[in-house]
Amino acid sequence: DRSIKIAPSILAADFAAFGAECEAAEAQGADWIHVDVMDGHFVPNLTLGPAMCKALRPHIKGVMDVHLMIAPVDPYIDAFAEAGADVLTAHVEAGPHVHRTLQAIRAAGMRPGVALNPGTPAEAVRDVLGLVDLVCVMTVNPGFGGQKFIDMGDKIRALREMIGDREIHIEIDGGVDPKTAPLVAAAGADVLVAGSAVFKGGSVADPAPYGANIRAI
């Protein structure tokens, strides 16, 4: 399914109301919910872990899309499976054995994704495309929401070509807004993560702006 899917990143939501924020985002038209896991080591920020994902599971009807910005990954795979993650994405830069990691994610019952930092070429994931359901192209350096979009159009087009007719999503993460979304969609992306562009201007008490923001992307 290559239709455009919007995946709000709850990194830009109210941390004290994550359950209600996920419900509000879905009610306002979110297709997937994107959960950013950071370890203060692979990226210079700390967010949340599998216990929070497990607590959010009953508040998310659709796809829980978990983006791991952690290293190592392997010791935590079972915990995220147990937490109910649907898609579990690991960075290709997170360790020397991404092939093993992606196999382990599949074996644990989740859909594996592989993410690339802006400085990593498309070529770096060629030999694991047979193992994944999703490739996440970072259009910011991971660690924080609200950063400026970095154009990765050539990388997206190269990946679409490499993927061919396989059923693999191309997800874009970072700086997606009504201006940048059409560019990445035209280059071949189908899952658009958006944090600040979705949650700005609204709240759980007044979530209507989320809907307007989603429709504007």
Tell me the sheet residues that pair with 8. Answer: 194
Annotated active-site positions, please?
Answer: 36, 173
Q: Which window, 78-86, 89-97, 100-108, 187-195, contacts ligand DX5 (CB under 6 A)?
A: 187-195
Q: Is 201 annotated as a binding residue?
A: no
145 touches ligand DX5 by CB under 6 A: yes
Which region among 47-55, 72-80, 172-180, 202-210 touches ligand DX5 (by CB under 6 A)? Answer: 172-180
Q: How far is the CB of 138 from ligand DX5 (least distance, A)?
A: 7
Rounded to the nearest 5 degrees, what angle is found at the Cα of 175, between the Cα atoms of 204 and 17?
20
* CB of 130 or CB of 146, closer to Zn ion: 146
Q: Which residues pair with 191 in a beta bridge?
A: 5, 171
To the question of whether residue 174 is assigned a binding role by annotation, the answer is yes
Residue with tokens 């996920």: 22
Residues touching ligand DX5, count (CB under 6 A) = 22
Integer Cα distance of 80 and 49 in angstroms: 8
Residue with tokens 């915990």, as numbered in its chain: 79
What are the distances in angstroms from CA 198 to CA 52, 123, 156, 178, 209?
21, 31, 23, 10, 8
Residues from 89 through 128 that contact ligand DX5 (CB under 6 A): none
Tokens linked to 137: 């192209």
Q: Which residues bind Zn ion (CB under 5 A)?
A: 36, 67, 173
User: Which residues contribute to the site for ligand DX5 (CB under 6 A)?
Assistant: 9, 11-12, 34, 36, 67, 140, 142-147, 173-176, 193-197
